[in-house]
Amino acid sequence: MNFCKLSLITFFLALATSTAFSQTKISNLLCENLANPVGIDKSHPRLSWQIVSDQRSVLQTAYEIRVGTDLNSVTSGTDLVWSPGRVLSEESVHIIYSGEKLESGKKYFWQVRIWDNKGGVTNWSEPASWQMGLLDFTGFTAAWISPGFKEDTTLRPCPVFRKKFQIAKKVSSATAYITAHGLYEAWINGKRVGDAYFTPGWTSYNKRLQYQVYDVSALLNTGDNAIGVILGNGWYRGYVGYAVTKNFYGDDVALLLQLNIVYSDGTTESVISDGTWTSSTEAILSSEFFHGETYDARKEKPGWKLPSFNDSDWTVVDIRDFPRDILTATYAEPVRKHETFKPVKIFKTPKGEQVIDFGQNLVGWVQVKATGKAGDSIILNHAEVLDKNGNFYTENLRQARARDIFILKGGAAETFEPRFTFHGFRYVKVSGYPGVLNPANFTAVALYSDMPSTGYFNCSNRLINQLQHNIQWGQKGNFVDIPTDCPQRDERLGWTGDAQAFSRTAAFNMGVNNFFSKWLKDLSADQGINGAVPFVIPDVLPRYSNQTIGAAGWSDAAVIIPWNLYLHYGDRQLLNEQYPSMKSWINYLQGVSKNDLWNTGFQFGDWLSYRAQENDPFDYVSAVTDKHLVAQCFYANSTQLLIHAAEVLGYTGDVEKYTALLDKIKQAFLKEYVTPNGRLVSDTQTAYVLALAFDMLPEKLRPQAVDRLIENIRKYKYHLTTGFLGTPHLCHVLSRFGHADVAFELLLQETYPSWLYPVKMGATTIWERWDGIRPDSTFQDAGMNSFNHYAYGAIGDWLYRVMAGIDTDESNPGYKQSIIKPHYSLKFSAASASLQTYYGTVSSSWKIENKKLTLDIEIPANTTAMVHIPAKDLRSVTEGGKALFTVPDLQTSGSENGYVIVKAGSGKYHFLVEL
């Protein structure tokens, strides 16, 4: 072979290799599930990345990570703090940092590249970073400070603090560490620090208090500088819970702030909260989550956040001796501003009140612009609905006033928005506005925890699409730092029952790994020494007894949510962290059970299930399920999930111990709640659903239980009668046992009780009750009638996992291997869903047209999927116009129950099925 020919071959080989390399790249680098986070206090943080490729069946075979303390060291590969070399592994999610000891406050940069099964190696990724928080609470040299003046304990104006300081040298970097008793907003030289709201967030403050970390390098000036901070009552000392308790954690507000500055010459300096700060009050006269905020612009102190302000008449702060050993960094995404809404209608009610309709039941506040005289008071009252006559309705808010007041200083145009409150509303009643209400002067702002949007679902039925919209907005409105039950009335608590019922749906709609991880840490902190789990987390309810007690379906959140997160995210560390809490809960149940029956103590039962009323259209008995039957089912389910967790974590002794317990629990259930003929003592939908969902019945009894469930549903003319605990499992049980057609009938039911009844009544979020507004437009009991209450939105999980067909594989969690198994109905012409996983996009979309079904799926690189194609046999299916057995990226696995099963590598696939 001559030289020219060899050179030509070498050239084309290089070109082909280059092309292969260019098709695969690395993106979306995460540290502890966050992009370029600031404030990590884990000594061994976890790193994740995505592999992007337009080729099929791409798998990572090895990776190489390099970590350094500056960009140059990382990109050049020199002076690294961690460089493990080439690691043979498919893992690309939650890789534990194992390099040199990390330093508090230091910023680290990292890159990764991978080798794939095609013989290629990617370029190094774009650099990402993380910045450490304080690895030890002793890193806080700042002092706790409180207002130095005697506070008004009735109205409680928000105190303000300031500190002036000088910088004489060029700043290389500056990091602020801030927390508070109460809520805070901070400014440096008049510029807001960060864009988060309601910081430091709600935790079990007496056990865990978060601090936030901010890179404020760009906010500092050479010469004079000033820090200004406002504190609000928030959850710490404001009104919390439906008992309208205040000062639950303390009657003080306090600030802890530390600004660490690194100069370009390598020297350092700290500006800390201490006795040199001053305090006063300003324009916020009062602020409460339930009652709203009053702002008097005449009391503003112009320039108080700037260095030039004269604070000689301010009061020196008090130094307080509050604990620091409970301080912890923040990992969950903070609350931020999101969508904005302009009025869709401004009208006068029959009572003559001026009302604005923003078209969407949302959580947040209203920005107002106005021009008027000094002392003019604009009053904004908030409501979710209008009554049957079209009047403003607030009775369901109970004692929450939900009212913001803006008092003008007069002169030029003024703009107002609250700082330390939020409201659940669609309608706003406006009083005292100077002039005509102009839509341009009112903007509703949605606030919720800034979790990434991860899921999409759409189908050919507009009512189901509106239902999905309502589910997502119910989640947005109630995921305000904790998973609340409702955002509008005097409650807004982290009810555990609602959270566990909705947790899988939540994980489809948004990235909730960090959100729930943070909340579960508070669940563990507030769990009783006897193992009982409170009904709300953080626990602010009055005790029913001297000891914490638990209830089925509520306290089980301690087990159900960690397991659901493990399935969805593959987060083994979270499962391991929560395992002691999970185990403690099951041990509590053993202690309160008698003869393996949990039939003691308080129970919520199948909360808010359908109840027969006078003149009920069905004229049937009430659908109330025995509370202890429900409890026994959840006892078994949580024990089973604990066994699963123990298997994953390698606790073989616990697997054996709790497997034996589970057998006793199920035997006790059969003896107590099942007749010799297989009928349950409660002949209700929920009873059969839970017994089937949690495998409480031996296999031989399951078919007749399914038949009785179907009979009950038909008796109620395809209406559901389930409550908070039965509803999430209803359609799953039907489709699991071959009755997806009945599930679709229930889904499409438009009259009460059903999922679509509120949609037909104009709902834009999920209601607390099936009949929050009755068919005659009257209301349910105002004492408990929220119109933004996500629990019944748990049907969203079925839309994603069954109708669209995107599901997890328990043996390969976190969508390392997906199960794609869509269920179609001829009542629909199309349905599609997609999910952003740690590996990339998983999607499934089916369409029926001309007696043919098309199924389009996408599987991210470094994963596989078991695809179940609705078809009679292999011959009736093609992919990309080719017979399945000819497609190299598909492995056929036969057929089962009306599905052809293939294992698919990553990539996009187009299946066509002859119906």
Question: Looking at the annotation, which residues are catalytic?
Answer: 491, 768
Determine contact, residues 166/133, Cβ cutoff 8 Å: no
Determine contact, residues 471/790, Cβ cutoff 8 Å: yes
Q: How, if at all, do strands 852-859 and 907-914 pair?
A: antiparallel
Tokens of 799: 């839309």
Tokens of 61: 């075979």
- Alpha-helical runs (H) found in 428-556: 462-478, 496-509, 513-526
Give CA–CA dist 494/585, Å, rounded. Answer: 18
Among candidate residues 581, 562, 582, the one with its CA nearest the CA of residue 572? 562
Element (H, E) at 5: helix 3-22
Amino acid in position 12:
F
Give CA–CA dist 783/786, Å, rounded. Answer: 9
Give CA–CA dist 297/415, Å, rounded. Answer: 10
Q: What share of the chain is helix, strand, coil (3-state, %, to 5)?
A: 25, 30, 40
Alpha-carbon torsion (590, 591, 595, 597), positive or negative:
negative
At a CB cut-off of 8 Å and minimum separation 6, what does 877 contact?
A: 869, 871, 884, 900, 911, 912, 913
Give CA–CA dist 85/65, Å, rounded. Answer: 7
Element (H, E) at 112: strand 107-116
Give CA–CA dist 137/638, Å, rounded. Answer: 36
Give Dmax (Cα) for the chain. Answer: 98
Determine contact, residues 529/515, Cβ cutoff 8 Å: no
CA angle 182, 476, 186 (to 5 degrees): 30
Among candidate residues 375, 356, 359, the one with its CA nearest the CA of residue 367? 356
CA angle 79, 25, 842 (to 5 degrees): 125
Q: Angle, nearest 10°, between helix axes 702-715 and 685-693?
A: 150
Determine contact, residues 590/661, Cβ cutoff 8 Å: yes
Q: How, if at all, do strands 128-132 and 38-40 pair?
A: parallel
